[in-house]
């Protein structure tokens, strides 16, 4: 039977979750440059904001894009358009997206309470939603990549044991949002079979299955139009060991670049053995939900990387051909950050489990605690020393400087029906947000 928390424990947990929410949100915001915060990202402008402005939430909420549903980005687009004026539109999108990172961090702290006993480890899990080294490059602060931020909640949610009906309904709502935003959450659906007779888990299971089924329907009715790149299994495997595995700790990849170029066989053998060792430890030294979570997260980390590389990769994604400059440019960072987040979650759960197994004996428990301290310390040290990671929005085009020209065009003698707000990446030319001149003039008059 699950022990009910004392009032003191409950208060401490609430304060911890609130602190992680604030800290993770602020960290996500702080890791983006002022220009990046004021710049709209590609699909945020052309898909989510434009379609919401043109068609309304009722028409767009369950509209597929690129083969799957994006419910959370579409909900936030609707909110932002209603609360932010034109000059602050990009900053509002960034703030809303950073808040989601904070909420994901707080949810990890809360949902892993029965799985990870040490609060420090859970705090690090929560902070990872904004602290992973490569997140600012493309993932943080925009709507289009919120599905990557949300995915890490799926395995934890699907193993959750809600306390009471309100908690069960809250977890179910969160499971629906996750599955209706990230199709890869379906990878973790088998976890719902654990303790399937526990009625507290039924609402989460129902929401997750319905959300995943809706994603399947979306994929079948609106399939992706991109042609998959035929990445070889060797390229995918080397890519995982060379990109998301080290980038769970640091964005400084020069050492890994050298190893992959000069000592590839040795590096692959050592990294592969370490990864297999993690799985072996999980299978033999953990039990119950902890074992399931580790055995879901670590292979899930590999699976999400592999799927992303095969479905979205380009010939340049062949890691076996990379040089030092390729690594320095943080290629494939948005795929690496998803994979790294699952890996970090799995490793922290495993280390916490090894640190307190009652059947292990004092020597093994002490070794497990040393391993946990080493893991947490190395993660925090790596994150803290990675330095500023560039964002693809650092070059703009920032939104506020564009507004005067748009207003002038709409107030001209012969104004066009619409004007276009430029979004990043600007060099591609077609990511824009069309704005009716009537709305631009109304915004200008209200200032």
pLDDT tens per residue, range 147-188: 999 999 999 999 998 988 899 999 999 999 999 999 999 999
Cis status, amide bond into 397, omega within 30 of 0: yes
- CA gap 380, 324 in Å, rounded: 25
- For the chain, which residues score pLDDT lower than 70? 1-6, 226-231, 253-258, 261-262, 264, 313-332, 357-361, 444-447
Query: Looking at residue 389, what is its pLDDT?
Result: 86
The whole-number pLDDT of residue 315 equals 58
Instruction: Output the pLDDT for position 1.
Output: 44
Say if CB 131 and CB 386 are below 8 A apart: no
Distance (Å, whole) CA 205 – CA 80 = 31
Q: Residue 325: what pLDDT?
A: 66
pLDDT value of position 327: 65
The proportion of the chain whose per-residue pLDDT surpasses 70, expressed as a percent, equals 88
Q: How far apart are CA 333 and CA 338, in angstroms?
A: 9
How many angstroms separate the CA atoms of 269 and 206, rounded?
42
**How many angstroms separate the CA atoms of 132 and 333, rounded?**
11
Q: How many CB atoms lie within 10 A of CB 97?
A: 28
- The CA distance from 232 to 218, in Å, is 28
| pLDDT for res 163 | 85
Structure tokens at 415: 């104004």
Alpha helices in 31-88 (DSSP H): 34-37, 42-43, 50-55, 57-60, 71-83
Give me the helices (H) in 329-396, please: 333-354, 362-384
pTM: 0.92
Provide CB contacts within 8 A for 103, sequence distance 6+: 21
- For residue 388, the model assigns a pLDDT of 84
Q: How far apart are CA 16 and CA 110, in angstroms?
A: 9
């Amino acid at each position: 039977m699950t022990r009910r928390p004392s009032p003191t424990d409950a208060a401490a947990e609430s304060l911890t979750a609130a602190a992680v929410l604030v800290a993770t949100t602020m960290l996500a915001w702080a890791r983006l440059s002022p220009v990046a915060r004021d710049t709209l990202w590609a699909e945020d402008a052309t898909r989510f904001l434009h379609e919401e402005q043109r068609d309304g939430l009722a028409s767009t909420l369950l509209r597929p894009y690129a083969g799957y549903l994006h419910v959370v980005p579409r909900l936030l687009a609707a909110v932002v358009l209603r609360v932010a004026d034109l000059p602050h539109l990009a900053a509002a999108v960034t703030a809303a997206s950073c808040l989601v990172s904070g909420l994901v961090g707080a949810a990890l702290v809360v949902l892993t309470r029965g799985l990870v006993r040490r609060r420090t480890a859970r705090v690090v899990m929560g902070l990872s939603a904004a602290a992973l080294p490569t997140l600012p490059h493309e993932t943080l602060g925009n709507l289009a990549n919120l599905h990557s931020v949300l995915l890490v909640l799926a395995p934890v949610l699907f193993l959750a044991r809600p306390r009471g009906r309100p908690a069960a309904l809250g977890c179910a709502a969160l499971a629906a949002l996750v599955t209706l935003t990230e199709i890869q959450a379906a990878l973790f659906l088998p976890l719902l079979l654990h303790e399937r007779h526990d009625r507290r888990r039924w609402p989460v299971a129902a929401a997750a299955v319905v959300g995943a089924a809706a994603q399947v329907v979306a994929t079948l009715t609106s399939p992706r139009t991109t042609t998959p790149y035929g990445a070889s299994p060797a390229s995918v495997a080397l890519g995982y060991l060379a990109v998301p595995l080290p980038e769970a700790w640091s964005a400084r990849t020069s050492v890994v670049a050298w190893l992959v170029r000069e000592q590839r066989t040795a590096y692959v053998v050592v990294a592969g053995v370490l990864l297999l060792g993690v799985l072996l430890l999980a299978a033999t030294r953990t039990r119950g939900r902890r074992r399931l979570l580790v055995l879901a997260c670590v292979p899930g980390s590999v699976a999400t990387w592999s799927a992303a590389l095969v479905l979205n990769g380009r010939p340049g994604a062949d890691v076996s051909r990379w040089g030092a400059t390729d690594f320095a440019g943080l290629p494939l960072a948005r795929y690496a950050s998803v994979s790294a987040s699952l890996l970090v979650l799995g490793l922290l759960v495993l280390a916490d489990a090894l640190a307190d197994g009652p059947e292990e004996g004092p020597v093994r428990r002490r070794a497990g605690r040393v391993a946990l301290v080493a893991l947490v310390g190395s993660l925090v040290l790596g994150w803290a020393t990675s330095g500023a990671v560039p964002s693809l929005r650092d070059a703009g085009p920032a939104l506020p400087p564009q507004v005067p020209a748009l207003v002038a065009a709409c107030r001209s003698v012969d104004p066009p029906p619409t004007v276009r707000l430029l979004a990043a990446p600007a060099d591609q030319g077609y990511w824009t947000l069309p704005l009716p001149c009537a709305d631009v003039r109304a915004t200008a008059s209200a200032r």
